[in-house]
Homo-oligomer: A and B are copies of this chain.
Amino acid sequence: MYKIIILLFTFYATLITANEPVTPLPQSVQVNQAKAKLGQALFFDPILSHDGTVNCATCHDLHSGGDDGLKFSFGIRGQEGSVNAPTVYNAVFNFRQFWDGRAKDLQDQAAGPIQNPVEMGATFEEIIPKLKKSKYKKLFDAIYDEGITKNTITDAIAEYEKTLITPNSRFDKYLRGDKNALTQNEKEGYELFKSKGCVSCHHGENIGGNLYNKFGIFNESNSEWLGRYNITHKERDKYFFKVPSLRNIARTAPYFHDGRTYDLKKAVEIMSQYQLGRHITKEEISKITAFLQSLNGELPKNIEPQ
């Protein structure tokens, strides 16, 4: 009898979510536990930076939104970056990494900040000998035949980052059939999110992160932020960026590639003007923002290395 009820419930939940443009995050992603544990140690270890002052967690604080709350992050010697650090949470679900999509996956991405002169400012030639003289020698050798290389360092970090997902947001519970998981205001916000057109770019399991589009379809044609153009040097890629995921958006201010605002309501208003060219009322902004707040998911249980 219970089985029938569960089956019916599952069927009903499938029915009501079948046509939704957003799908819940999975509860877990399969990883190699040994590699992920090693990657976690590396993620928190400033040994990967030139002067031992910066680790991955410096810009990707896992206790809040997986970013650092700054407009632009600080790297070694207090140098300031020039683009807003994206969250590492749920990055595994993005189709490419970085705002301009220049890294094809997490492993490719991981090599970026380590070598960026204004971020961790190191070279693999420099850090590999350091790692080989440390506790890491044994750890890598136990897992990787090739020992400590650029490939194995970034592979371990990427494997760990796959675990950095935030399932079970209230919105995901709602999508799975729990109609009480959202307030009336949040439900109306979701309907507005769909009917206003936000969803035409922010959809799928990550509510974004699966396509490029132009930032400022309406009014950004002389910005200094050229996006994918810097990678492809093609005129048509000017101002094109990866559409970011909206998962945990309320935890990841400031917003946009240039961190131009800390105010989520303002960010919604900017999107409406820039991407949809439409006026949006204060009440509508408030409801959409309420919906966005329901996208905060559960953080991993053991954040620091044990």
Contact = CB atoms under 8 A, between A and B. Distances in A.
A212 B214 contact: no
A212 B95 CA distance: 12
Top 4 nearest A-B pairs (CB, nearest first) are A197-B197, A195-B278, A194-B277, A21-B217
A200 B203 contact: no
User: A-side binding surface: helix, strand, loop or mixed?
Assistant: loop
Within the oligomer, what is the number of copies of this chain? 2
Nearest to A205: B236
A contact residues, range: 20 to 34
B217 A200 contact: yes
A21 to B, nearest CB: 4
A175 to B, nearest CB: 14
A234 B195 CA distance: 29
Interface in A200-248: 200-201, 203-204, 210-214, 217-219, 221, 234, 236-237, 240
Interface of A: 18-21, 95, 194-197, 199-201, 203-204, 210-214, 217-219, 221, 234, 236-237, 240, 275-278
B276 A194 contact: yes
A196 B197 contact: yes
